[in-house]
């Protein structure tokens, strides 16, 4: 059994590329069914097409309201048979209606150790705060920005000569390990979303759990 | 040259014990000159006395104001020849006067990855927030609680069956590695406090820096 997933992007989607690679082996329990971009020029669209994955452009500027835009996305995802959504650099806030419709089936990766540094420019925020550890977080999406239940986190060192760019590069390497690990843990039932919280059944093995916090 | 340090405690001071061990080797560039407790029953007093370290009790309840209490501590520290202060479970907030007097020479360890989870009961806070990484932070002390410039941070995993106690035990192990490493980096001049920020001279070697964020 292979779970059909949809990926929402706004730009190049480096995490999309990693998810595509992750799903290549036939024994991986998911495959990417559809990639949707809210911008016609999103570079990730070419990347997906090159990998033989169906793509769609749903341009938010062509819809009168956020709800209409999100309804169009939901309909397109359902028509394609998508059962689970990964955000990969998707730059639109999602409203409560969409989030509830896909509750427990909608995850995102954020480039900070939440709850620290929500929002944009997280690497600048981290350097300004002078932290020595920074990282990334995979979480279920809630209607409150970057505040959904946390699935996994990975830390990287901040070095004294770091720029926002050098730090972003280091965090991105961690993102590319963490996002597939979290996706796989969900699909294999090792973690679950219940009543707004992430729960792990007793069957979760320690060695697997350690992939979710490194 | 060996830097004479003072340690302020309120209770058992498990970090005090670790600092005592750290300073035992003759080539370690610091020695503990004095341990001050603000409570007569602080268990760390016996620990220090057993290691042959001078102790003092400066009971905050015997002073009419915070300033008088802090002036008494400063005088006692200076009389003992202390040049650098480590807080180890010292449970009194320090006012701006004391902090400025010891600016750049006063550090603390806090059981969270700051800026997340300031204040008390940090392990409960972390479990409530559902983070998958937690840890500890060594920082210069500022008059704003748990907000001083960060020297080093260490992360530990949060496991699905953790209690505040099991999590505290894991964080404490990290504290016992991080605090001595940060103290040593300061004494060796590998990091400095300048204009409210932690700066690292170009001479700081990567392998040393990595001890400050693990």
Residue B160, pLDDT > 70, answer: yes
- The number of beta carbons lying within 10 Å of the beta carbon of residue A190 is 19
Contacts of B107 (CB under 8 A, 6+ apart): B85, B86, B87, B138, B139, B140, B141, B151, B182, B183, B186
pLDDT reported for residue A162? 94
The b-or-e profile of B68-104 (16+ CB within 10 A means b, else e) is ebbebbbebbeeeebebbbbbbbebebeeebbeebee
CA atoms within 13 A on the CB side of B168: 10
Q: Which chain A residues are within 8 Å of B212, Cβ to Cβ?
A: 132, 157
Of the candidates B79, B12, B72, B73, the one whose C-alpha atom is nearest the C-alpha of residue B48 is B12
pLDDT bracket for residue B145 (50, 70, 90): confident
- Strands B150-157, B133-140: parallel, antiparallel or unpaired by DSSP? antiparallel
Do A113 and B130 lie within an 8 Å CB cutoff? no
Asked if the peptide bond before residue B48 counts as cis, ω within 30 degrees of 0, the response is no
Q: Which of B129, B137, B149 sits opposite A115 (nearest CB)?
A: B129
Q: Does B116 touch chain A (CB under 8 A)?
A: yes
What is the rounded CA–CA span in Å between residue B168 and residue A168?
A: 31
Residue A206 scores a pLDDT above 80: no
When CB atoms are compared, the residue of A130, A135, A159 closest to B197 is A130
Rounded CA separation A5/A77 (Å): 9
Round to whole Å and give the CA distance between B8 and B108: 10
Which long-range CB contacts under 8 A does B75-80 form with residues at least 24 apart?
A: B76/B34, B76/B36, B77/B6, B77/B34, B77/B36, B80/B4, B80/B6, B80/B33, B80/B34, B80/B54
Averaged pLDDT score across all residues of chain B? 93
Residue whose entry in the numeric block shows the structure tokens 């001078």: B54
Whether A167 contacts A134, CB under 8 Å: yes
Q: Which residue has the higher pLDDT, A141 or A145?
A: A141
Residue of A nearest to B116 (CA): A116
Taking an 8 Å cut-off on Cβ atoms, the answer to whether A213 and B158 are in contact is yes
Q: Which of B131, B204, B212 sits opposite A132 (nearest CB)?
A: B212
Taking an 8 Å cut-off on Cβ atoms, the answer to whether A159 and B131 are in contact is no
- Per-residue pLDDT, averaged over B164-180, amounts to 96
pLDDT at A209 over 70: no
Looking at CATH, the fold of the domain delimited by A3-212 is given as: Rossmann fold (3.40.50)
Return the sign of the alpha-carbon dihedral for residues A159, A164, A168, A169: negative
Contact B129 A116 (CB under 8 A): no
Provide mean pLDDT across the span A15-29: 93
Confidence grade of residue B56 (pLDDT, cut at 50, 70, 90): very high
- B144 pLDDT band, cuts 50/70/90, is confident
Q: Is A207's pLDDT higher than 90?
A: no
Q: What is the average pLDDT across B2-24?
A: 94
Residue numbers in B near A212 (CB within 8 A) = 132
At B31, list the tokens.
């020695």
CA-derived radius of gyration, chain B: 17
Which of A130, A153, A213 faces B149 most closely, judged by CB atoms? A130
Is B149 within 8 Å of B193 (Cβ atoms)? yes
| Residue range A91-102: mean pLDDT, rounded | 95
pLDDT band (50, 70, 90) for residue B205: low
Nearest residue of chain A to residue B210 (CA atoms): A157
Question: Is the pLDDT score of A143 beyond 90?
Answer: no
Look at residue A77 in the predicted model and tell me its pLDDT.
98
Q: Which residues of B touch A159 (CB under 8 A)?
A: 206, 209
Dihedrals φ, ψ of A50, to 5°? -60, -30
* pLDDT given for residue A13 in this prediction: 81
CB of B44 within 8 A of CB of B37?
yes
pLDDT value for B99: 96
CB A184 within 8 A of CB A173: no
pLDDT at A183: 94
pLDDT at residue B201 tops 90: no
A53-81: average pLDDT: 97
Q: Can you read off the two tokens belonging to residue A78?
A: 């359902």
For range B89-94, the mean pLDDT? 94
Structure tokens at B195: 């204009």
**Edge-to-edge strand list for the sheet holding B133-140:** B54-57, B30-37, B3-9, B84-88, B106-110, B133-140, B150-157
Reported as type and span, the H/E element at residue B17 is helix B14-23
DSSP H or E segment with residue B192: strand B192-194
Could you tell me if B149 lies within 8 Å of chain A, comparing CB atoms? yes
């Amino acid at each position: 059994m292979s779970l059909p997933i949809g990926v929402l992007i706004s730009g190049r989607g480096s995490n999309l590329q990693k998810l595509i690679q992750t799903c290549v082996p036939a024994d991986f329990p998911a495959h990417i069914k559809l990639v949707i971009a809210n911008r016609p020029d999103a570079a990730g669209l070419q990347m997906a097409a090159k990998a033989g994955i169906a793509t769609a452009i749903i341009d938010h500027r062509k819809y009168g309201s956020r709800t209409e835009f999100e309804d169009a996305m939901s309909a397109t995802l359902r028509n394609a048979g998508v059962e689970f959504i990964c955000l990969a650099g998707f730059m639109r806030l999602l409203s409560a209606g969409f989030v509830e419709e896909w509750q427990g089936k909608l995850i995102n990766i954020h480039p900070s150790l939440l709850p620290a540094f929500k929002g944009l420019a997280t690497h600048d925020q981290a350097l300004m705060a002078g932290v020595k550890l920074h990282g990334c977080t995979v979480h279920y999406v809630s209607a409150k920005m970057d505040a959904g239940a946390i699935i996994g986190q990975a830390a990287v060192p901040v070095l004294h000569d770091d720029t926002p760019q050098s730090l972003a590069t280091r965090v991105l390497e961690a993102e590319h390990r963490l996002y597939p690990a979290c996706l796989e843990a969900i699909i294999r039932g090792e973690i679950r979303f219940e009543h707004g919280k992430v729960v792990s059944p007793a069957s979760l093995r320690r060695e697997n759990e350690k992939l979710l916090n490194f």
